[in-house]
């Protein structure tokens, strides 16, 4: 059983872990980034990962925060895999910003992507307008609205889809980060037609530990499937400046693909060493 597919194999419409793969060599990021006006205007072009900048908030890092996709991104947004693309971001004022761009709807880290980007011409497009307390705290104090559209993928037989998503998170006293995230989509490209997630992060400044809890309700985009509820709690123990251990538990209620099960529990532990 592959860890990334654990959710679907147990009947859950979603990903209980995203940082797993078994595809040999691949390129996830290879792009040119240019900044202007002290970084307040910037763009990237090349091989990009749209989840790096579409609908992000202060607890969106899969290495250091949650594991379940419901709390990392928004399952109602049909974000494609890594592929060729371009994105532009700018601060319109001291507090208002926008991000827009497009990327290959058929992107894969194991391919160069020139054939699918230019020949198939099927794209994921997005635009985001947001409010932040300051440019320096844009990832932590953040309220935004995202609109997106993805073209029909003929070879994959996936219809075109669109949606909107809302996210609000705020870093209070540099310790607490509550969040509320909601999304709606039309079409079958996204995992969920509707999604609501709430949660809280608690940083412990004395040692760098982090506690995170989240609760998410989702209506799968596939017709005939029932709603499901996802919860996750983790505690990142900062053993040293460069080493962290993060135990976690996920509890899934009424998994949509497994109506015989009322509850599924997923236990995990991560170790991260950085230099």
Of 85, 69, 225, 62, nearest in space to 148 by CA: 85
pLDDT band at 177 (very low <50, low <70, confident <90, very high): very high
Q: What is the pLDDT of residue 3?
A: 63
Kindly report the CATH number assigned to the domain that includes residue 267. 2.40.160
Query: pLDDT-based confidence at 2, cuts 50/70/90?
Result: low
- Angle CA 218–222–224, to nearest 5: 90
Q: Which pLDDT value is given to residue 17?
A: 84
- Give the pTM: 0.90
Domain count, the chain: 1
Across residues 160-170, what is the average pLDDT?
96
What is the domain range of residue 25? Answer: 3-273
Among the listed residues 86, 127, 88, the one whose alpha carbon sits nearest the alpha carbon of residue 107: 86
Write the pLDDT tens digit of every residue in 107-161.
Answer: 988 888 888 888 888 999 999 999 999 999 998 999 999 999 999 999 888 999 9
Beta bridge partners of 42: 35, 89
């Amino acid at each position: 059983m592959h860890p990334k597919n654990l959710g679907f194999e147990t009947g859950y419409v979603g990903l209980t872990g995203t940082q797993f793969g078994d595809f040999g060599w691949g390129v996830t990021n290879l792009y040119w980034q240019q900044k202007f006006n002290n970084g307040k205007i910037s763009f990237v072009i090349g091989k990009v990962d749209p989840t790096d900048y579409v609908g992000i908030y202060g607890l969106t890092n899969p290495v250091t925060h949650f594991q379940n996709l419901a709390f990392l991104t928004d399952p109602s947004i049909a974000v494609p895999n890594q592929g060729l693309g371009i994105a532009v971001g700018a601060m319109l004022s001291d507090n208002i910003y926008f991000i827009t761009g497009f990327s290959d709807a058929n992107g894969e880290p194991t391919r160069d992507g020139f054939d699918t980007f230019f020949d198939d011409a099927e794209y994921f497009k997005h635009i985001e307008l947001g409010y932040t307390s300051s440019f320096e705290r844009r990832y932590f104090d953040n309220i935004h609205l995202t609109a997106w559209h993805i073209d029909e993928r003929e070879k994959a037989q996936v219809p075109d889809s669109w949606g909107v998503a809302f996210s609000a998170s705020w870093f209070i006293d540099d310790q607490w980060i509550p969040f509320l995230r909601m999304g709606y989509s039309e079409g079958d490209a996204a995992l969920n037609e509707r999604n609501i997630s709430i949660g809280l992060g608690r940083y412990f400044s004395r040692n760098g530990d982090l506690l995170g809890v989240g609760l998410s309700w989702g209506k799968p985009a596939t017709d005939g499937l029932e709603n499901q509820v996802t919860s996750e709690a983790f505690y990142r123990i900062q053993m040293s400046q460069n080493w962290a251990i993060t135990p976690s538990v996920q509890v899934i209620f009424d998994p949509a693909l497994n109506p015989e099960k009322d509850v599924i529990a997923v236990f995990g532990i991560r170790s991260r060493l950085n230099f």
